[in-house]
Amino acid sequence: MPVHDVFEEANRQLIICNACRYCEGYCPVFRAIETRRDFQRGDVFYLSNLCHDCRACYYACMYTPPHEFAINIPKILAEARIETYERLSWPGFLGRAFKHRGVTVFLAVAAIALVAILSFALIPSSSLFAAHVGPGAFYEVVPYFAMVAGGLILFFYGIAVWLRGGAQFWSETRTVLQQPGGFNAFLAAAGAALGLRYLKGGGPGCFYPDERPSSVRRVYHSLTFWGLVCDFISTTLAFIYQDFLHLLPPYALSSAPVIFGAVGGVALILGTGGLLYFKMRSDPDPAGSGAPGMDYVFLVTLGLVALTGMFTLVYRETSAMGSLLVLHLGFIAALFLTAPYGKFVHAVYRTLAVMRYEMERGQPGSGAGH
Amino acid sequence: MSVNYDVIVVGGGNAAMCAALAAREAGARVLVLERSPENERGGNTRNTRNIRCTHPAADQFFSGPYSEEEHLQDLIGVTGGPANMNLAKFAVRESSQLPAWMSGHGVHWQQPLAGTLHLGRTNRWFLGGGKAMLNTYYRAAARMGIEVRYNAGVEEFVIENNRFEAVRIRNKNGDAGELIRGGAVAVGAGGYEANIEWLKRHWGDAADNFIIRGSAYNDGRVLAALMKCGAKSMGDPKGFHAVAVDARAPKFDGGIVTRLDVVPFGIVVNRDARRFYDEGQDIWPKRYAIWGTLIAGQPGQIAYGIVDARAIDKFLPPMFKPYQADTLEGLAPQLGLDARTFVETVTEYNRAAAANTEIHMERLDGVATRGLTPPKSNWAMPIDRAPFYGLPLRPGITFTYMGVAVDECARVLDQSGRPFQNVHAAGEIMSGNILTKGYLGGFGLTIGSVFGRLAGREAASNARA
Nearest beta carbon to residue A59 from set B132, B253, B254: B132
Cβ–Cβ contact B317 with A under 8 A: yes
Cβ–Cβ contact B63 with A under 8 A: no
Q: How far apart are CA A309 and CA B33, in angstroms?
A: 56
Answer yes or no: pTM beyond 0.90: yes
Contact status, residue B44 vs residue B190, Cβ threshold 8 Å = yes
DSSP state of B392: E
Say yes or no for a CB contact (<8 Å) between B47 and A26.
no
Nearest beta carbon to residue A19 from set B106, B110, B316: B316
Cβ–Cβ contact B13 with A under 8 A: no
Contact status, residue B162 vs residue A93, Cβ threshold 8 Å = no
Residue B438 three-state SS = coil
Cα B111 versus chain centre, distance: 22
What is the value of ipTM here, to two decimals? 0.94
Cβ–Cβ contact B127 with A under 8 A: yes
Tens-digit pLDDT profile for residues B202-221: 999 999 999 999 999 999 99
CA of B127 to nearest chain A CA: how many angstroms apart?
Answer: 6
Q: Is the dihedral of CA B335, B341, B344, B346 positive or negative?
A: negative
Which residue does chain B place closest to A212, by CA atoms? B139
**CA distances in angstroms from A143 to A124, A156, A243, A328, listed in the order given:** 12, 20, 15, 15
**CA distances in angstroms from A128 to A149, A328, A329, listed in the order given:** 20, 14, 14
Q: How far apart are CA A11 and CA A13, in angstroms?
A: 6
Q: Which of residues 1-60 of A touch B (CB under 8 A)?
A: 15-16, 18-26, 34, 37-38, 56-57, 59-60
Contact status, residue B369 vs residue B345, Cβ threshold 8 Å = no
Three-class DSSP labels, B127-174: CCCHHHHHHHHHHHHHHHCCEEECCCCEEEEEEECCEEEEEEEECCCC
The DSSP bridge pattern shows strands B154-160 and B267-270 to be unpaired
Say yes or no for a CB contact (<8 Å) between B128 and A16.
no
Best mutation target, B151, B213, B257, to test chain A (most A CBs within 10 A)? B257
CA of A58 to nearest chain B CA: how many angstroms apart?
Answer: 10
Say yes or no for a CB contact (<8 Å) between A25 and B128.
yes
- Burial (CB count within 10 angstroms: exposed 0-12, middle 13-18, buried 19+), residue B228: exposed
Nearest beta carbon to residue B135 from set A18, A211, A367: A211
Which residue does chain B place closest to A369, by CA atoms? B114
DSSP state of B252: B
**CA distances in angstroms from B26 to B22, B30, B421, listed in the order given:** 6, 10, 18
Say yes or no for a CB contact (<8 Å) between B108 and A37.
no
User: Which pLDDT score is estimated for B1?
Assistant: 43
Closest C-alpha among B11, B10, B14, B7 to residue B447:
B14
User: Which pLDDT score is estimated for A181?
Assistant: 63
Residue B88 neighbours by CB distance under 10 Å: 22
Give me the DSSP letters along B31-77: EEE-SS-GGGTTGGGGG--EEE--BSS--SS-SS-B-HHHHHHHHHH
Say yes or no for a CB contact (<8 Å) between B317 and A37.
yes
Q: How far apart are CA A179 and CA B121, in angstroms?
A: 35
Say yes or no for a CB contact (<8 Å) between B317 and A18.
yes
Q: Taking CA A291 as the corner, what is the angle to CA A72 and CA A218, rounded to the nearest 5 degrees?
A: 80
Say yes or no for a CB contact (<8 Å) between A59 and B313.
no
- Partner residues linked to B109 by β-bridges: B126
Contact status, residue A181 vs residue A358, Cβ threshold 8 Å = yes
Say yes or no for a CB contact (<8 Å) between B114 and A62.
no
Cβ–Cβ contact A362 with B under 8 A: no
User: Which pLDDT score is estimated for A103?
Assistant: 87
User: Which pLDDT score is estimated for A366?
Assistant: 45
| Helix pair angle (A321-338, A291-314), 10° resolution | 150
Cβ–Cβ contact B131 with A under 8 A: yes
User: Which pLDDT score is estimated for B79?
Assistant: 84
- Partner residues linked to B212 by β-bridges: B252, B397
Run means of pLDDT, 10 residues per run, chain A, 370 residues: 85 96 95 91 96 96 96 97 92 87 89 93 91 90 91 94 96 72 82 89 92 95 97 95 92 96 98 97 89 84 97 95 95 95 94 91 51
Cβ–Cβ contact A63 with B under 8 A: yes
- Burial (CB count within 10 angstroms: exposed 0-12, middle 13-18, buried 19+), residue B104: exposed
Rounded to the nearest 10°, the torsion over CA A82, A86, A88, A90 is 150
Chain B residues with CB-CB distance to A64 below 8 A:
39
CB environment B365-389: b (16+ within 10 A), e (fewer): bebbbeebeebbbbbbbbbeeeebb
Residue A360 neighbours by CB distance under 10 Å: 24
Which residue does chain A place closest to B110, by CA atoms? A25
Contact status, residue B420 vs residue B335, Cβ threshold 8 Å = no
Chain B residues with CB-CB distance to A16 below 8 A:
257, 319
User: Which pLDDT score is estimated for A368?
Assistant: 39
Residues of chain B whose pLDDT is less than 50? 1-2
Residue B38 neighbours by CB distance under 10 Å: 13
Cβ–Cβ contact B113 with A under 8 A: yes
Say yes or no for a CB contact (<8 Å) between B317 and A19.
yes
